[in-house]
Structure 1
Amino acid sequence: MRALVVVGLLAVLALVFVVVAMVKDSQSNAGTAEGCPKGWPLADVTLREPKDVKINVYNGTDEVGLAGSVADDFRNRKFQVKKEGNAPKAVDDVAVLRFGPKGVGSAQLLRAYFLNSAKLEPDLKRKDDTVDVILGNSFQQLATTTEVNQSLGDLGSPEAPPGTCPAPVGEK
């Protein structure tokens, strides 16, 4: 009988602990637009699957045909390649990722394909969810699946860029 009382008491304490933790959870508002200044765009911070990511691939190097070969590599990895071509100016970085608030989660995934070395350039005025991938002079090759998974673990969850608010889950 005494054991049942102890188990019952432990169950009640566990329930109280869970309720208190849920009420005071500092992350319970993560992913919502609560407290967002008026007029700030909502950033889609959902990490996307490759099949759901739309990209444009541009060559920011002197290497002829680089955008086409990398675009093919992205297609083989199930990305939706919309455009490919040459960038208007050279890029010295590994790559530059340009995206709007709707492309934050997509850019996070793409960054892992460059081993977290791609420079992020959010454009708060951009309305679509397409990410421009500008290949730079330091680019060598896309990461392997294992490297991408490790990079995603290192990066953590996508975060809304400065000047945006995270969109509530399910909104884009």
Structure 2
Amino acid sequence: MSASVSMPLGGVQVGSYEDYQRAQRAVDFLSDEKFPVENVTIIGSDLRMVERVTGRLSWGRAIGAGAASGAWFGLFVGLLLGIFAPDGSSWVGSVVTGLLIGLVFGAVFGAVGYSATRGRRDFTSTSQVVAARYDLMCNPQFAEQARAALARLSLRG
């Protein structure tokens, strides 16, 4: 269904929630009530990006993180190559060699990546986009049915 001038994208509003978990709970409740949830849309409004600083980034941390991710990749490649090994000892050799080569290359790439920043970003962080409000929108032909079910949900607490 395409949006028209008279109907906003997603349909008409049947609920509004402070956080995504409550909006998700409402849709889950509608699903439990056998409501046709394919007619529902969750729309986040007033978006903002939140970046949480998780720690200081140093040479040791950059090299260590690179070495760890390289070791995992090297282990994976070693296991794949070990499948084709003719006997057990060469299988172990393939795995250990892949692990060590991955560790070394990962450490080198971690150091190169850190040096490329030239100290402009000496911290680690995680970021996410969050909304101030989450509106539950519904196809107009099912809106009253959705409102009635959501009213039952709000009465349950």
Shorter-chain TM band: under 0.3
- Larger relative CO (CA 8 A, sep 6+): 1 or 2? 2
More strand as a share of residues: 2
More helix as a share of residues: 2
Larger Cα Rg: Structure 1 or Structure 2?
A: 2
Q: Structure 2-normalised TM-score? A: 0.22
Q: Structure 1-normalised TM-score? A: 0.21
